[in-house]
Amino acid sequence: VVEMSGTAPEKVLLVDDEQMVLRVYERILMRKFVVETANSGIEGLEKIATAGPFAVVVADIRMPGMDGIEFLSQFREYAPHTVRMVLTAYADVRSAIDLVNRGNVFRFLTKPAEADLLLSAVAAGVEHHRLITSERDMLLTTLRSGKSFLAQFLFVAGVGLIVFFAWPKRAVVPAEQAE
């Protein structure tokens, strides 16, 4: 596995009921990514817990049992930041619309996908994942520092109020009465 820019390679999950397809695409992708495979949608969902998290998941649409549309829809619930892609020999408009609406798919690829096309699509998905997660991390850091600042401000303001109300009061006498 080749490391990209000094960091650990990203993890990719391939889900397809055709064993030969999984082996071929795994060999292509393992040059740049850590690759896990699953033979069904159910096995793919199990991989979230046993081998995740994943930067990218690539799934076939037509699989027995749980189809790719249902798989990607459920996968999104468990791993919303994973970039989802479809690889299928049956590219029809209705399936594409369902995938975009229910599975929020990043790319729609057709079988057989050439090695360069598959590699570039997954690399684009990994980059998209990095952008999503770095933006999320930046927002969380900003929120945490804002929360810390607010807590410090409230503490200082609270101490100020305590001092103000606890300070001995002097009677204010108008200047005319002071004489």
The continuous run of DSSP H or E covering 12 comes out as strand 11-15
Amino acid symbol at 142: T
Beta bridge partners of 7: 4
Look at residue 131 in the predicted model and tell me its pLDDT. Answer: 87
Per-residue pLDDT of the chain (179 residues; tens, 9 = 90+): 434 444 556 999 999 999 999 999 999 999 999 999 999 999 999 999 999 899 999 999 889 999 888 999 899 999 988 999 998 887 667 767 766 766 578 888 888 889 999 999 999 999 998 888 776 656 656 666 655 655 565 555 555 555 555 556 565 555 666 55
- Cα dihedral 114→116→122→124 (10° resolution): -130
Q: CA–CA separation, 11 vs 8, rounded Å?
A: 9
d(CA 44, CA 115): 22
Q: What is the 3-state secondary structure (H, E, C) of 37-105?
A: EECCHHHHHHHHHHHCCCCEEEECCCCCCCCHHHHHHHHHHHCCCCEEEEEECCCCHHHHHHHHHHHCC
Number of residues that make up the chain: 179
